[in-house]
Amino acid sequence: MAAGKGQAAGEVAEETRGTAKMKFPFPYTPYPIQEEFMAKLYQVLEAGKIGIFESPTGTGKSLSLICGALTWLRDFEEKKRQEEARLLAAEPEGKDATEPSEKGSTRSVDNLGPSAEPDWITHFVQKKEEREAAHRLKEEQIRRKKREERLEQIRHNVQLRYASKRRRTEEEEMEHLLQLSKDILSNQGEPGGLEPLDQEEEDMIPAEYESDEEKKVGSRLSEEDDDDLEEEHVTKIYYCSRTHSQLAQFVHEVQKSPFGKETRLVSLGSRQNLCVNEEVRRLGAVQLINDRCMEMQKNKHEKKSIEEEVERKKRRLGRAACPFYSYEHMQFLRDEVLVEVKDIEELVALGKEAKACLYYGSRFAIPAAQLVVLPYQMLLHEATRNASGIKLKDQVVIIDEAHNLIDTITCIYSAQVHGSQLCRAHSQLSQYMERYRKRLKAKNLMYIKQILFLLEKFVTALGGNVKQNPNTQSIPQAESQMKSINDFLFQCEIDNINLFKVQQYCERSLISRKLFGFVERHEASGALKIRPEEQKMAGLQNFLQNLNEKQRKEGTPQSPPEEAEDGPPKMASPLMHIEGFLAALTTANQDGRVILTRQGTLAQSSLKFLLLNPAVHFARVLKECRAVIIAGGTMQPVADFKEQLLTCAGVGAGRIEEFSCGHVIPPDNILPIVLCSGPSGQQLEFTYEKRNLPPMMEETGRILSNLCNVVPGGVVCFFPSYEYEKQVYVHWEKTGLLARLAAKKKIFQEPKRANQVEQVLAEYAKCIKRCSHTGTTMTGALLFSVVGGKMSEGINFSDDLGRCVVMVGMPYPNIKSPELQEKMAYLDKTKPKTAGQAPGRMLIENLCMKAVNQSIGRAIRHQKDFASIVLLDHRYARPAVFNKLPQWIRSRAQVKAAFGPAFAALRKFHSEKRSICESACT
């Protein structure tokens, strides 16, 4: 046994050494750290483990992920093909191969034990399984060959594309003419106008509901659908990141890589980014786009008899339906998507040309794709994942920019509803029920009444009355209460209602969509009762939408879609929003809390579900996938990922692999300094009590003033909060420190509004460039930023934009926050102490250091870049804190007890770098 263990260890070691020697296709000669990264990535994927990978920005992380993962996928597919060929070659032929001789059978029976089966039975079953496996492999080979031939044909046969496009155009013209004829006949046959309940209104009534049957409500596709839609998902890699811009950048890297021509890649995204219907896109806000899209393809997912379908089309009378939601067009789009790697802009252009919905059409490409690129939310939210057709079984998932993964999962599964939304939903649903009471089936009526009861009880819990105006109902005592899920259900007196069944009803009956259609139809006609204040809000929205439409027609540039989200929430589909809260209440009691916030009026009061254990949702991803890679530029401290996401999800330590690589820059291109005291000898400790003292603010100003004398170009100074930054700024104005700083560097402040960030950055960069070319006394610019703000993440301060990054104090989160206190209490209760430190206290420290690491990593962005990093607080020198800095910064950091030696080191560093730059320029 011991010898066996030693042999196995030797095989693993040999495999590791062999992997390290592998040659990975790369667009240029990779750095040694990139080779190490790819080798480790390959090893983790091959072993089916979970890897936490840290690779600083500027080290080519994206390319390393692409080339390492796609090399593994290429080798995996080749091994699979070889195994298929071996099994098919060994397939028994003829009857004689499967039937043992009678003599052999008799001998086997004679040698039977009391509970054993005859050898010939075992042999027969084994051969049968082999035949079935070989048959499956043959079918899979045929499907794969058909798919590859089709894609190859599209690649090389341009005529096929034009023929298909011409055929679609002809069919559209025929359909249009046919519809015109039907409309004319319909109008001639019905001169008296609409019936009391037309077909469109019939569509607003849910079909008969059977709650306890596991049945698929409706099918998106008809029975004559192409067999390709039922094809099995090939082994693939799901790559997800935080924003669409990061995903677009990743796709561009794939295009530039050696795998750019041969990889079948599909990009998934939100309706806001993928919608090709201009009428819907111009709505701007995410919620309005989603609601309009779902309304336009309402009831497309429900099967109808031929007579019903003919009748529906006959009576349609111009009902709004999306012209891009065509199955045939989306099938054509699927093939075009897989032919070559395309980014979002190219896909949108393709969708418009093919007149096919890209949002739904791109999903048809998922089964055959080798690489699927998608945002966090689509992969991490189970309902969205299932709706998108994403199957994780035995697949690989890479989560990039994962430093905020815990927060992302917590936010996705947390939900908040306000009193105004609850009252509005109750009013709409009550009128819906009264309108269709005689037509609703018994179970539909029962569940709608249960939803109304829940809404009423939620409003009562906030201290209000659902039948009165939420804007005029004042809440006598402002307070915030934290309750367990069970306590909240008992307080609301709804513990006897099966929330799982209510949630299931909402999902299957599409009641919120139907309610949205009902409100849209009857609100416009004036038949729906609306409170005066809601009517004013609707009027304001109509005015703004008409103004937006007018600007669009006149050619006035509109705000980008992202900015639409910054405005006030739109008054659309309150029940859709509340469904998320109902789903959250089905979480296990120990894994979540409900926060009741009563303040001002009922409309302002809210119910919020807080998820305490994100592992319960991430566990499903970990369980299904073959391997999961969690990657980022700054992953330290990794203890949070391991404890809160992996260990809590039941992952053993043996399945977790960690990898952290250094930076590509030379060691002398970075100078990190922990500064413990200022020029006057005052100890730097920016605790909440001490940081507001005038001497501490003045000492900070003196440090910055000295730094601005020796640091060329740009200096970025991070403050713990907007409030503290403003307080310091005002104090420096009064004392004259600000004027002294402004004499050396022009001062910029981070704006609070997201749409102003680009303008401030552009002016900041322009000022630095101008100062470097003119021999003025001003040496550059000084930017005041905020930790966790718009510029602490995703912004590159490369080269002269960030020659020095200053961190003022330690940005601990607000310890008085009820949510944070509950999270700390939960961890203290469920986790053991680490090195004598309580888990709750460690959470606070880790949140602080994550924010610090994200901010100070903004400066070094490429191999020839250089910068200094100054951490202003003696607490950074504590081993427990110091060890949570990224390894490539920690290994080069210097702790300076006094300001003099620190200033001398900084002056020498920047003087030498300036000399090198000047000699290189000449």
Reported as a single tens digit per residue, the pLDDT across 134-144 is: 767 776 667 66
**pLDDT at res. 527:** 60
CB atoms within 10 A of CB 123: 16
Is pLDDT at 540 greater than 90 in this prediction?
A: no
Is pLDDT at 98 greater than 70 in this prediction?
A: no
Contact status, residue 490 vs residue 496, Cβ threshold 8 Å: no
**pLDDT at res. 161:** 52
Each residue's pLDDT tens digit, 227-250: 443 557 889 999 999 888 888 889
**pLDDT at res. 14:** 36
Could you tell me which residue, 631 or 778, shows the higher pLDDT?
Answer: 631
Q: What's the pLDDT band for 96 if we cut at 50, 70, 90?
A: very low
Q: What's the pLDDT band for 150 if we cut at 50, 70, 90?
A: low
Is pLDDT at 872 greater than 90 in this prediction?
A: yes
- Token pair 């990593």 is found at 857
**pLDDT at res. 245:** 82
Is pLDDT at 730 greater than 90 in this prediction?
A: yes
**pLDDT at res. 526:** 62
Phi, psi (deg, nearest 5) at residue 50: -115, 120
**pLDDT at res. 677:** 92
Is pLDDT at 10 greater than 70 in this prediction?
A: no
Give the DSSP H/E element, type plus range, for residue 444: helix 442-461
Is pLDDT at 192 greater than 90 in this prediction?
A: no
Each residue's pLDDT tens digit, 353-377: 888 888 888 888 888 899 999 998 8
Phi-psi region of 510 (alpha: psi -120 to 50; beta: other; left: phi over 0): left
Give the DSSP H/E element, type plus range, for residue 397: strand 396-399
Task: List the helix and strand counts (H, then E) for the chain.
Answer: 37, 18
- By mean pLDDT, which of 211-215, 423-427, 627-631 is the weakest? 211-215
**pLDDT at res. 269:** 86
| Token digits of residue 532 | 């005066």
- The span from the CA of 254 to the CA of 62, in Å, is 9
Q: How far is CA 895 from CA 223, 576, 673, 683, in A?
A: 71, 54, 6, 14
Contact status, residue 798 vs residue 865, Cβ threshold 8 Å: yes
Contacts (Cβ under 8 Å, ≥6 apart) of 87: 130, 133, 134, 137
Q: What's the pLDDT band for 154 if we cut at 50, 70, 90?
A: low
- The span from the CA of 231 to the CA of 228, in Å, is 5
With b for 16 or more beta-carbon neighbours within 10 A and e for fewer, the 709-728 pattern comes to: ebbbbbbbbbbbeeebbeeb
Q: Which of 194-198, 799-803, 892-896 has the highest mean pLDDT?
A: 892-896
Contact status, residue 525 vs residue 201, Cβ threshold 8 Å: no
CB atoms within 10 A of CB 774: 8
Mean pLDDT of 752-759: 81
Is pLDDT at 164 greater than 70 in this prediction?
A: no
Is pLDDT at 159 greater than 70 in this prediction?
A: no
Could you tell me which residue, 310 or 493, shows the higher pLDDT?
Answer: 493
**pLDDT at res. 310:** 44
Contact status, residue 630 vs residue 61, Cβ threshold 8 Å: no
Sheet holding 592-598, edge to edge: 415-418, 606-611, 592-598, 479-484
Mean pLDDT of 123-145: 69
- The span from the CA of 243 to the CA of 401, in Å, is 10
Taking alpha carbons only, the member of 659, 820, 851 closest to residue 33 is 659
Mean pLDDT of 500-520: 84
Each residue's pLDDT tens digit, 386-435: 888 899 999 999 999 888 899 899 998 989 999 999 999 999 999 988 88
Each residue's pLDDT tens digit, 55-67: 887 778 889 999 9
**pLDDT at res. 638:** 81
- By mean pLDDT, which of 3-17, 493-507, 590-604, 729-743 is the weakest? 3-17
**pLDDT at res. 151:** 60
Is pLDDT at 72 greater than 90 in this prediction?
A: yes
Taking alpha carbons only, the member of 16, 6, 4 closest to residue 659 is 16
Is pLDDT at 876 greater than 90 in this prediction?
A: yes
**pLDDT at res. 118:** 65
Could you tell me which residue, 771 or 32, shows the higher pLDDT?
Answer: 32
Mean residue pLDDT across the chain:
78
DSSP, res 885: S
**pLDDT at res. 178:** 52
Cis check: omega of the bond before 637, within 30 degrees of 0: yes
Percent of the chain with pLDDT over 70: 73
CB atoms within 10 A of CB 577: 20
- Token pair 């949570």 is found at 884
Each residue's pLDDT tens digit, 703-716: 999 998 888 888 99
Q: What's the pLDDT band for 701 if we cut at 50, 70, 90?
A: very high
Mean pLDDT of 824-834: 87
DSSP, res 875: G
Q: How far is CA 832 from CA 43, 390, 392, in A?
A: 32, 36, 32
Mean pLDDT of 163-168: 56
Could you tell me which residue, 497 or 214, shows the higher pLDDT?
Answer: 497
Phi, psi (deg, nearest 5) at residue 732: -65, -35
Mean pLDDT of 184-205: 53
**pLDDT at res. 278:** 87
Each residue's pLDDT tens digit, 266-313: 999 888 888 888 888 888 777 778 777 877 765 444 444 444 444 444
Q: What's the pLDDT band for 153 if we cut at 50, 70, 90?
A: low
Q: Return the half-sphere exposure (C-beta side, CA atoms, 13 A cut-off) of residue 243.
A: 6
**pLDDT at res. 38:** 94
